[in-house]
Amino acid sequence: MRIGSILENQAFEKRISVTPEIVKKYTSLGFEILLSENYGLHLGIKDEQYIELGAKISKDEIEVLNSSDIIVQLGILTDDKISNIRENQTLIGVLNPYENREKLQSLAKKKINLFSLELLPRITRAQSMDILSSQANLAGYKAVIESFANFEKAIPMMMTAAGTVPAAKVLVVGAGVAGLQAIATAKRMGAIVFATDVRMASKEQVESLGGKFLSVEGSENLETEGGYAKEASDDFKKKQEELLSETLKKIDIVICTALIPGKKAPLIIKENMVNNMQAGSVIYDLAAIQGGNTAFTEVDKIVVNNGVRIMGESNILNKLPISASSLYAKNLFNFVDNLFDKENKKININLEDEIIEKTLIK
């Protein structure tokens, strides 16, 4: 069987789905690898590196798509590329079924097997395939680095003969994978870190990393069975708003990571809260692409409001494409390994397997 992959649209996505180290793993399972020309060149990976490991390179992207049994990508393919996918092929990636519903339904009608990896269940067996965790981990780290680079004061406390520079105060909104990594990174760099989350189970994790957990008095635990955050009640939102309003007056840097899968990002930091923050403060909004957690977030822009900088990028992982590609490619391989019937050398869509059942778009 053949696994193929072509370059993503470089204007939006610099990550790749097949790295040289993963080629060996696929070939050991008996797969043939076919990639488009200059597949990893923008990351410093020459075609020769892939060829030496047994992969084949094609100048024709259509040939790659047509002759592959399994196509692995990051995002969904463009319409002109989709028209070249034939029946009974398998497409695996981050297909975003909430936004691409019609496109995916038309592909499913062509009897194409579609697997969207952001739908993976949060179970122990799926951890090695969990692309949301691997990518969010890097995003949380990079958001701290980017916000610190735009903050015009020192981060750690510094005691000098001329006086003491106080440590920066950081607030992390949302203590999921990205949030926890943001807490750990900010703490390592000497900041005083606070965090808030609607899931009470996060309190212990935040405190284990040296952060102070801010909880709404009498709050409910807003966590789904799958481990994700769910929508808060109006009463909870009001109490959280009051707590945040007071806290933000003393905060230097805010990292926003609050997302609800498949929905617009919750608006957590309102206009009046930003207006009451200290001039020179920085907000980095990782939820920008889904509408943002602040009232002023604009995708791929730095908005300055009342002296506060609000930052949000469409794809922060384009700033860490080598590390992000390495982790994503490993997640993909582990998923394919679970999907592949090694004895009969074919894809086995076993709907009794929760991983396959949850990720398959029907």
Residue 80 designated active-site: no
Strands 113-116 and 301-305: unpaired
Residue 228 designated active-site: yes
Report how far residue 89's alpha carbon sits from residue 256's, in angstroms, rounded to the nearest whole number: 39
The count of other CB atoms within 10 Å of the CB of residue 343 is 7
List own/partner pairs for 356-359 with CB under 8 A and 24 or more apart.
356/115, 358/119, 358/120, 358/121, 359/115, 359/116, 359/117, 359/119, 359/120, 359/335
Nearest residue to 114 (alpha-carbon basis) of 84, 135, 94, 131:
94
Active-site residue, from 68, 133, 147, 240: 133
For residues 282 and 252, the answer to whether their CB atoms sit within 8 Å is: yes
For residues 295 and 285, the answer to whether their CB atoms sit within 8 Å is: no
Active-site residue, from 2, 47, 49, 228: 228
Residue 281 designated active-site: no
Active-site residue, from 127, 208, 233, 314: 127
Active-site residue, from 2, 122, 128, 337: 122
For residues 157 and 190, the answer to whether their CB atoms sit within 8 Å is: yes
Residue 252 designated active-site: no
For residues 254 and 248, the answer to whether their CB atoms sit within 8 Å is: yes
Active-site residue, from 130, 197, 252, 285: 130
* 3-class secondary structure, 222: coil
Residue 60 designated active-site: no
- Residues belonging to the active site: 122, 127, 130, 133, 228
